[in-house]
Structures are given as structure tokens and as C-alpha cells.
Chain A
Amino acid sequence: MNDADKKCLLREMIFYRRFEDRTFEAYMERKIGGFLHLYTGQEAVATGVLEVARTGQGTDNDYVITGYRDHVHAIKTGAPAREVMAELYGKETGSSKGRGGSMHIFDASQNFMGGYALVGQPFPLAAGLAMGCKHKGTDQIAICFLGDGANNQGTFHETMNMAKIWNLPVLFVCENNQYAIGTHIDRSTAVVDQYKRMCAYDIEASQHDGMDIDVVMEASKKAIDFVRSGKGPYFIEFMTYRYRGHSMSDAKGYRTKEEEAEWHKRDPIKIYTDRLIKAGIIKAADIKAMEKEIDDEIENDIIKFAEESPEPKVEELTKYVLDDNPDPRWVGPLHK
């Protein structure tokens, strides 16, 4: 990775943070409805993993799927940020045409196969995406991002078992932020180190620092190479922290200020910024300019696009429930 790429990567992480911060403001202004789950603090994980995954090649991309905290994963996979914002605004120009909202961003043109509200659901869907890749003989893989809380769903165990026996090309990325909504992992989970649970399924697994993007990229590259080479599933765990509450109504009463402060010291953007400054790749003054440029882009392009886009038409309420142009040979009706 050259210096320009490193700068780009830093810019991306800053962009994701500013993007999420701006959605927070829009939510407070009631421009965004429903639930909103922000990724702030965990940026190094999705950015690092997807940096070394196959993206930017449209439907030849690796398949990516995740839970409801999905904005950053969608954008990093290739969904245009303005369409993600328009989706949060419920607009027709949104990633899911305003039908999905924050928790259900999809971009099939980039193989971003969605965000899901049922925390354990992406496990089997990801294994199925991997089955599709394997069956068609492509060298794509499926990448499933989920939090530690999802690992206490039955689908976790069922899917790991099948992913192993069928040798599916799927990478499970566990973003261990230690909280299942508001319950600490010590209180919800018998085996706290999530990668250790893979012993039960004989799946390759490892645990890494999720706050340092260089660590994330190096570990992910190995894991992705493993999966892509046909050796079967891999489970990679990143220790990370979400700065904000689970969603917007969460006052974070379940954790201490001291704990938060400890994690803020290891902020992924700070770690990477310091590293690039120390290496002489970027100057502190450049960061300010970068932030200004990002804020301008968010305001003048992304928010403007979302604000000015039309809402879906009420006459199209029932569009997309079933295939809107089915072949009458299969569907019928019988008498007509």
C-alpha cells in the first residue's frame, strides 16, 4: 500500500465517522425516522476487512452481508453514500428506494446483500451466498459481519456446522464490541473469547485488535486468502467498541465513563492518524483540510441529494411485494 492509498484509507475512516455524526444530527432534526444504529468507534473493522476484500468490481465483488448497523459496510462495499443517506431519509432515490431504511440498506449492483434486523439471520444467508459462489464455480466469497451478540442465536451454531461440513467459502467477521444491546458479554455469554467457540465446529479462527486498521487488514488478508483458496470457512474476531448507544434511545447506563475513556484512547482514527503523521505521510494541518472537505461533501452533495430527492409514490405502495412482471406461464392465473 503506497502513501496515497494510506491517506485515502484515513480519509475514508474520517468520512464514515462524519457521515454517521451527520445522520445523528438529521435524526435529531427528525429527518430520519425509525431506529438508527451508528458505527462510530468500529470504523477500522469494516474499512479494514473490505479494503482487502474484492470490491469495486460490481457484481464480481465478494458478497457482503451484515446486521442493522450497516451504513458503513454498504458504502465501503460500493453503495454510493448519497444513496445510503437518501435511504435514511426514506427517499425513492435511496439504496432500497425508501422501502428499507437505515437497517435495510441493499445494493445488489455491488453485491451488498443487505442489513438485517434479526441479529442471527445473516449467518445462514451468508452461508447460502457462499454456496451460490461455490456452486457456480466463481472465486468470490461471502463475508458476514455481525456483532458478538448475534453469536448466541441458534443460527450461529447451525450455520457454523453446515459451513464446515459443506466447506463453504464464507468469512465470518465478529465485531466484538462486548455489548449485546445493553448487556455486557460477561453476563450473556459463557465463552467470552468468541473465536474459541469455533473449536466446536473445527473452523479456523483467530482474534485481533479491531481498533488498528493495519492489524485488521493484515489478519483479514490471511483469512480471505484462506477462504478464497477453497479451504473452507474462517471466523475472525475483532475486539472493538461502539462509542454511541446501541441505537438512538440508548442512554448507555450500562457502562462506565472510565471504560468509555479507555477505549477512546485507542480510537481507530487517532491510531492511524498518529501513525501516518509519524511516518511523515500526512501533516496535522492536512487533517483539518481533509475534514473540511469531507464535511462540505456531506453537506453539499450527500445531504443535499437526500433532501431534494422525491419520496416514493403512494400509488407504488404494493410494488416489489412479489415479482411485478411474472411470466404468466408459471404464475397464471389458471382461467384467463
Chain B
Amino acid sequence: MAETAYWEAIRRAHDEEMANDKLVIAMGEDIGVAGGTYKATSGLFEKYGAERIIDTPISENSYTGIGIGASMTGMRPIIEIMSINFALLALDTLINAAAKIRYMSGGQIACPIVMRTPGGTAHQLAAQHSARLARMFMSTSGLRVVTPRGPLDAYGMLKSAVRSNDPVIIIEHEQMYNLKEDIPDEEFFRPLEGAEVVREGSDITLIGYNYSVHLCLQAAQRLEADGISAEVLDLRALKPLDRESIRKSVEKTHRVLVAEEDEAPVGVGAEIMAVITEDCFYALDAQPVRIHAADVPVPYNAKLEKAAIPSADDVYHGALKVMGKI
């Protein structure tokens, strides 16, 4: 076991997968000579060369498309998009091509690309660098969407994503790259499907994904001090969604809160609420609550930004509301 930062875990996965298979390449802005905005490919340009660690021009839609085209010949490109906001430029090739080619071709052609991109607010990056957008990818047929909450999944899910035959979107988070966790020294894989109970509890289920899992964990600690036992469920994968784990946890605790950093309308939380209504309506003892971002473009001003984005405190108070304590 070694304490590993999130960015180091991603770097290690790149390194191992590229050593394992020559068809694995990485492409993105500044990932090579500059080492990557979040250091996720640092040192790999020197090791694998310009043909496999490819610095791209600032042309998101087309370099994503080039990665997709390469994947149609059997290559396994890991495409980095510096910020999920810029992924909007690549939606044509991602959604109209990568997500649909297998289906449109009657199963003849796979597009085994991986797209890694950080979504979420950091510190005053303002509206055009703070989008989350998980809900948009989650609603697209033909994609897999995963949201590693820490180094263990960041490493293990990237390795699985490279080997999977489907296009996989990995949504990271600007605030998580320096998060540390002990991960095994031996090679391992973490599957691209299945939610995970990251904290056992009996009174309420707090459902999160990506960074909001950490808000749920912090809130759960405070709730414990109040004598409330909170279970925390990390969705891990938004597509396909593990409905079974949601049902199991809600049937156990009978109370539920969903925490997301995205805005609420037509969001991840809305989908989870629908799953709860359809699958475990009669298990509920109280009205569920959604904790989510304000429906505004993310403001620059620090106070406004804080007010726009959910915090552990918001999750805590939301849970108290579900529990009927406020």
C-alpha cells in the first residue's frame, strides 16, 4: 500500500496501460511536454514519446474525433479535455459519433475511447470553468459515465475504462486531484458499474457521486454526533446506473437525501429521485430531499460562488430536514 494522490493514481494507470498495450495512446492539450494541467501524464512524454503522448492543438471537437476514428481501428485513446466546459465543443463527435457508431453500424464497430475531464467548481474560476454537466452525459445512450471519488477508483476505473470496449467518460473534479488515499502496489481494476456503500448507517441514506460523496461523508460525521446513523452511497457510475444498490440502501434506512454539485433541473438528483419513486416508494418514511447547486451560471465572487454550490453544511441540514429535526 502506498499513499497516492488522485493525480498520481491517474498517472500510474496511464503508465501501466501504455506499457501493457501499444495501442493505448493519450491525447489532449498540454499533456505531453508540459506534463498535463493536473500532472496526470507528467513524465510520460519522456517515456513514451510524442507519437503516444500527443499534445493537441486547442481543437476539442476534432481531436476527440481523431481519437474516435483511431479507436475504430482498434486503438485505445485516452482523451483528456482540460475542463468539462470545453467538452461542450466536443459533443458532436462524442455524442453524435462515439456514442452512436456501435448502434448505427449494427454492432460492427466499437469506439473504445476514454475521455477524462474535470467537472466542478474550484476556487473562483467563474462560469466558463466551473460547469459540472454530469447530467448531460448521463442522459446519452451509448456512453458509460463514471465519477471516481478518490485515488482508488481514479486508478482502477481508468484501467478498466481503457480495456472496456465502450466509450467511457470519466468525470474527475478540480478539487480532488490532490486528495490522497492508500492504494495497493499490485495492479488492480475497479469495475465501471456498481454503486458502493462507503459508510454503513441505518437511519438515512446520503447518495452522492464524484466530489459530493465527500460532502456526504462530512455531513455523516456531524450527524453521528447528533445520534443519527447515516449511510453514504457513492453512485460511482452514472451510466449505467446501479438501481439495485439504491433500492437496497433506501429499503434499509427508509430515508434518503441526494447530493449533487450540478444544478437541479433535469439533473442527476432528479433521476435518482425518479428511481426511488419507481423502485422503493413504499419503503420511504419521509419525503426525500435534493441538495444541489443554485440554478445560476457559477459566479466569480467568492461569497456568491459559495452560495451557489452545495456544501457539507447544506447536506447536513438537508439530512436533518429529512429526519424531521428541523
Q: Which residues of A come within 8 Å of B, CB atoms?
A: 63, 65, 94-100, 104, 106-109, 113-114, 116-118, 121, 123-133, 135-136, 142, 154-155, 158-159, 161-162, 165-166, 319-324, 326-336
Q: How far is the CA of A94 from the CA of B107 in the complex (A)?
A: 12
Contact B62 A320 (CB under 8 A): no
- Most chain A beta-carbon neighbours within 10 Å: one of B66, B160, B165, B196: B66
Q: Among residues 1 to 40 in chain B, which have CB atoms less than 8 Å away from a CB atom of chain A?
A: 22-23, 25
Identify the stretch in B98-106, B213-221, B257-265 within 8 Å (CB) of chain A at 4 or more residues. B98-106
Residue pairs across A and B with Cβ atoms less than 8 A apart, 22 shown, are A100-B104, A106-B105, A106-B109, A121-B65, A123-B62, A124-B93, A127-B65, A128-B68, A131-B75, A132-B72, A135-B22, A135-B75, A155-B61, A161-B59, A320-B105, A321-B103, A321-B142, A330-B191, A331-B192, A332-B192, A333-B194, A334-B195
B103-116 contact mask (Cβ, 8 Å, vs A): 1 or 0:
11111111000000
Q: Which of A113, A321, A324, A330 contacts B72 (CB 8 A)?
A: A113
A329-B163 Cα distance, complex, nearest whole Å? 9
User: How many pairs, one residue from A and one from B, have CB atoms within 8 Å of each other in the complex?
Assistant: 194
Q: Is the CB of A155 within 8 A of B25?
A: no
User: Is A124 touching B69 in the complex (CB atoms < 8 A)?
Assistant: yes
Query: Once the chains bind, are A333 and B73 in contact (CB under 8 Å)?
Result: no
A336 — which chain B residues lie within 8 A by C-beta?
194
Other-chain residue from B22, B62, B189 in contact with A124 (beta carbon distance below 8 A): B62
Give min CB distance, B83 to chain A, whole Å: 18
**Distance to closest chain A CB from B240 (angstroms):** 8
Q: In the bound complex, do residue B66 and residue A131 qualify as a contact, i.e. CB atoms below 8 Å apart?
A: yes
Contact (Cβ within 8 A) A96 B106: yes
With both chains docked as a complex, state the minimum distance between the C-beta of A240 and any C-beta of chain B, in angstroms.
25
* Residue of A with least CB distance to B192: A331
Chain B contact patch, size range? 35 or more
Interface of A (DSSP majority class):
mixed
Contact B242 A333 (CB under 8 A): yes
Tell me the complex Cα distance, A158–B62, Å: 6
Query: What's the minimum C-beta distance from B214 to chain A, rounded to whole angstroms?
Result: 19
- B245, A335: Cβ atoms closer than 8 Å: yes
Report the nearest A residue to B157, measured CB to CB: A330
B69 touches A162 (CB 8 A): no
Say yes or no: B102 contacts A327, CB within 8 Å.
Answer: no
Residues of A within 8 A of B144 (CB): 322
| A323 and B66 contact, Cβ closer than 8 Å, known pairs A116-B97, A124-B61, A332-B193 | no
The distance in angstroms between the C-alpha atoms of A332 and B62, with both chains bound, is 31
In the complex the two chains form, is A135's CB within 8 Å of B106's CB?
A: no
Which of B51, B165, B166, B196 sits near A334, CB closer than 8 Å?
A: B196
B62 pairs with A162, CB closer than 8 A: yes
